[in-house]
Structure 1
Amino acid sequence: MRRPDPDKPDSLNRVRAMRHDPTEPEKRLWSKLRNRQLDGIKFRRQVWLAEYAADFYAAEFKLVIEVDGDDHAVREAGDRHRTGILEREGFRILRFGNADVMDTLDGVLEAILMTVRETPSPSQAFGLGPSLSPKGERGL
């Protein structure tokens, strides 16, 4: 994760402001993601990734979750460009509209879980599976 460009000090201030003053849909989603409430997954919010601030990020799965406001239609081309850059860096991106989060939060959470279950964590990707028992055997 890269820090904001030092030549653009406003970007760091903008992220700090977004972290301290989230939108109502971001607050609602964060209330379900924080403290590993969703299937034990660690999420962070307003994280710098490839010079962009992601609304929510689960590092174990390289999963970025974006909550798009009503102005998304105006910024759609820029968002597609940003998504392309993040995907080339190996991130998976899920986008939800404000209305999705406000009206169907359970569906949003289920979509996140389905994506996570399709994405192996590093330990699963390398065949490590469950941790070793005290006797040195793999737990099943």
Structure 2
Amino acid sequence: MPNKNLQRARSLRANQSDAEKRLWSRLRNRGFFGFKFRRQVPVGPFIADFLCTERMLIVEVDGGQHDERAEADLRRTHYLEAQGYRVIRFWNNEMLANTEGVLTVILDALGGDPHPPTA
């Protein structure tokens, strides 16, 4: 029987926001400069939106409800950073309005372009 976090992660994968869908379409299947990302991954008591274990990077895409949960999100970020992860956050509207800018920030956080796509 899957644990509660795993069940929640599956539910989140099935019910992504438009911003998460857009980002996942760019990150999936090593489509982002060869980096392997997973989505809605349990990490301790939390679920990371997008995780690149190779670079220990977590990308969070937050909706308006996170505006009211800033303190909880800060505790969550501190926990994840204590586990060795770097956490970067974007708002849904930022992802939808400036996808290329968000991707540039993610690439910078990953440390550049070590795996250029083949033509």
Q: TM-score, normalised by structure 2?
A: 0.88
Report the CA distance between 1:12 and its aligned residue. 3.3
Give the Cα separation in 2 of the matches to 1:81 and 1:21: 25
Report the CA distance between 1:51 and its aligned residue. 1.7
Report how many residues are paired: 112
Aligned counterpart, 1:21? 15
Flag the structure with larger Rg. Answer: 1
Structure 1 segments, 4+ long, off by >6 Å, are: none
Query: Structure 2 regions of 5+ residues with no counterpart?
Result: 113-119
Q: Pick one of 14, 26, 35 that aligns with 1:32.
A: 26
Q: Deviations over 1:59-91 (max 9, x none)?
A: 000000000101111111000000001101110
Give the Cα separation in 2 of the matches to 1:77 and 1:19: 25
Q: Does 1:81 align with 2:98?
A: no
Q: Of the two structures, which has the highest relative contact order with CA contacts closer than 8 Å and spacing of 6 or more? A: 2
Q: Deviations over 1:87-138 (max 9, x none)?
A: 01110001000011100000000000001117xxxxxxxxxxxxxxxxxxxx
Query: Structure 1 regions of 5+ residues with no counterpart?
Result: 119-140
Give the Cα separation in 1 of the matches to 2:57 and 2:29: 17
Aligned counterpart, 1:12? 6
SS of the aligned residue for 1:66 comes to strand
